[in-house]
Structure 1
Amino acid sequence: MSIIVFHLHNAEPEGLAPVWQPHSQAYSDQEMGQALADCQTLRTNPRNMHVCISSELRAMVGSMGVSAVENGRTPDGEIYEWSKAGRAGAARRR
């Protein structure tokens, strides 16, 4: 369970003051497509509000504590070529 869809649902009939009840649904890493589809469906229902998704896909999260690049390589040996200078323009001098 690394994907969760949360939403609030109005349990009262239309015309009465809303009573928001929290709901959640858990999904496995492989069910991201289904989780996104369910979010879309929940958002189209006017009785739902605050529909959101939270995930920490195991295949998309780096190893704990790995934040260094030495000699152009990550700790696991992969080549790292990204640079802020090449994407953000020249740095401003103060």
Structure 2
Amino acid sequence: MSIVVFHMYNLQPEGQTPEWLPQSHAYSDSEMSQALAHCQSLRMDPRNAHVCISSELREMVGIMGVSAVENGRTPDGEVYDWSKAGRAGAVRRR
């Protein structure tokens, strides 16, 4: 279970004081499209509130344990030149 969709479902009819029931639905790493579609459908129903998704996709985060970049390379020898400054459109200092 790497993806979870959370939401609160109102058990009471419209016009009455809401009674919220927390709900969650789990998805595997390969089911991101299904999880996003489920979120979208939940948001269309006014009985749902606080619809959110949480994920920890192993392939999207990187290799476990890589914590350092030395001389422009990761511990396994791959070139690493990512820079936060480059993301904002600023010129990189070298």
Matched residue, 2:77: 77
Matched residue, 1:21: 21
Q: Secondary structure of 1:7's partner?
A: strand
Alignment length (residue pairs): 90
CA RMSD of superposed structures (Å):
1.7
1:52, distance to aligned residue in structure 2 (A): 0.2
Q: Secondary structure of 1:43's partner?
A: helix
Matched residue, 2:9: 9
* Whole-angstrom CA distance in 2 between matches of 1:85 and 1:27: 34
Unaligned segments of structure 1, at least 5 residues: none
Matched residue, 1:55: 55
What's the TM-score once normalised by structure 2's chain length? Answer: 0.85
1:70, distance to aligned residue in structure 2 (A): 1.0
- Counterpart code for 1:20: W
- Counterpart code for 1:60: M
